[in-house]
Amino acid sequence: MSLVQRLGVTGLAVVALVTVVVASVAVGSVSLPVSEVLGALSGTRELESHLIVTDLRIPRTVAGLVAGACLAVSGVLLQGATRNPLASPALLGITHGGGFAVVVAVALLGLPPSVAVWAAFLGGAAAAGVALALATSGRDGLSPIRLVLSGAIVSAVLLAWTNALLALNEHAADDVRHWLAGSLAGRDAAAVAPLLPLVVIALAGSWLLAGPLDALALGDEQAVGLGQHPTRVRLLAGLVAVLLAAVAVALAGPIAFVGLAVPHVARALLRSGRHRQVLLLSAALGPVLLLGADIIGRVAARPTEVQAGVLTALIGAPLLVRLAVRHKATS
């Protein structure tokens, strides 16, 4: 792909990103005149509409930006590390593992919400570990489809247990249920800031891992020939991916299919699998998908809202079916 085309794709992604951010601030279940939105952005806090924009819409836009980018980059890393086009935080059990751990830690044990991201990290890593162990326990070794199937089943188990915990604990349930559906609504801007250093470190780590992952894509032997340690690269990429997914879970709840779909879209647009380019484009397109789903959710069922996670599943699940039916289980 020529430089011009690449710039064109990048430009389009940036335009799309700016469009959803603007739309996310301007559009909501309550329609506000443009002048009031602009007034709120310039710092006025007089009308109710100004407060809606600054206290509700801007925090959820920021949360959507961060969570969308994290999920998409996490998906790129997982697909690269497992060389499996079906790998993604949700399909490997990371998302629901994190969700279960957050429910246990925050809703049942009453720990402060600031530990949510670490609970999500531990839960996600544990769930992914179980899924991996199950997938490799077979005689035929680790097949791509088995890995994803194990993850899907681990997710189903954790989802069932989460629901049972909530059914037995009704007052905890009310706080958590909305979050568990994968929603950006009601995000606190203060919740995003402490996570930002973590996000920056993880994103920098994935940028550094892009080269080794390119080598890994050639096959393990070639990667060793190029001076890489495949196991170490996989482990690091897995850890960074779990960390990114944990941030997204802590911010937006268990949202599925963003991490699966976005890397595929990015690769298709770039017509290339070079990890550095795919990472950059995915980091831009992840928020586009998540915020886009969030905006549709705000207007689709006025005056109530549909959680963003529901819409990403509606968009992403058909892609899973297509990949599952088309994908030749080769590697």
Partner 1 sequence: MTDARPAPVVAVRPVRLRMRRPGAVTVLAVALPIGIFAALMVGSSNLTMTDALAALVGHADGSDAFVVRGLRLPRVVTAVAVGAALGASGVLLQGLLRNPLGSPDVMGVTAGASLAAVIAIGAAVPPLLLPLAAATGAGLATALLHLLTTRAGAGGTRIVLAGVGIHAAAYAAVTLVVARLPMGRLGAAEVWLAGSLHARNWTHATAVLVGLAVGLPAAFLLVRRLSVLELGDELAVGAGVALRRTRIQLLAVAAVLAGVAVAVAGPIGFVALGAPHIARRIVGPTSGVTLAAAAIIGALLVVAADVIGQRVFAPIALPAGMVTAVIGAPYLLWLLHRWGRR
- 172 is an interface residue for partner 1 by CB under 8 A: no
- 181 is an interface residue for partner 1 by CB under 8 A: yes
Structure tokens at 127: 């769930």
The stretch near partner 1 (CB under 8 A) out of 29-37, 112-120, 129-137, 235-243 is 129-137
- 138 is an interface residue for partner 1 by CB under 8 A: yes
Please pick, from the candidates 78, 313, 330, 331, the single residue that binds partner 1 as defined by CB under 8 A: 313
- 132 is an interface residue for partner 1 by CB under 8 A: no
Site residues (CB under 8 A) for partner 1, limited to 251-280: 256-257
Radius of gyration (Cα) for the chain, nearest Å? Answer: 20
Nearer to partner 1, 74 or 307 (CB): 307
Please pick, from the candidates 23, 108, 157, 203, the single residue that binds partner 1 as defined by CB under 8 A: 157
Residue 70 backbone zone (phi > 0: left; psi -120 to 50: alpha; other: beta) = alpha
C-alpha span between 191 and 251 (Å, rounded): 8
Handedness of CA 132, 257, 55, 103 (dihedral sign): negative
Q: Which residue has the tokens 């499996």?
A: 84
DSSP character for 89? T
CA angle 60, 103, 120 (to 5 degrees): 70
Please pick, from the candidates 112, 140, 171, 221, the single residue that binds partner 1 as defined by CB under 8 A: 140
Site residues (CB under 8 A) for partner 1, limited to 281-310: 300-301, 304-307, 310
C-alpha span between 99 and 81 (Å, rounded): 23
Main-chain dihedrals φ then ψ at residue 157, nearest 5 degrees:
-60, -50
- 109 is an interface residue for partner 1 by CB under 8 A: no
Give me the amino acid identity at 45: R
| Footprint on this chain of partner 1 (rule: CB under 8 A) | 86, 130, 134-135, 137-140, 143, 145-146, 148-150, 152-154, 156-157, 160-161, 163-164, 167-168, 181, 256-257, 300-301, 304-307, 310-311, 313-314, 316-321, 324-325, 327, 329
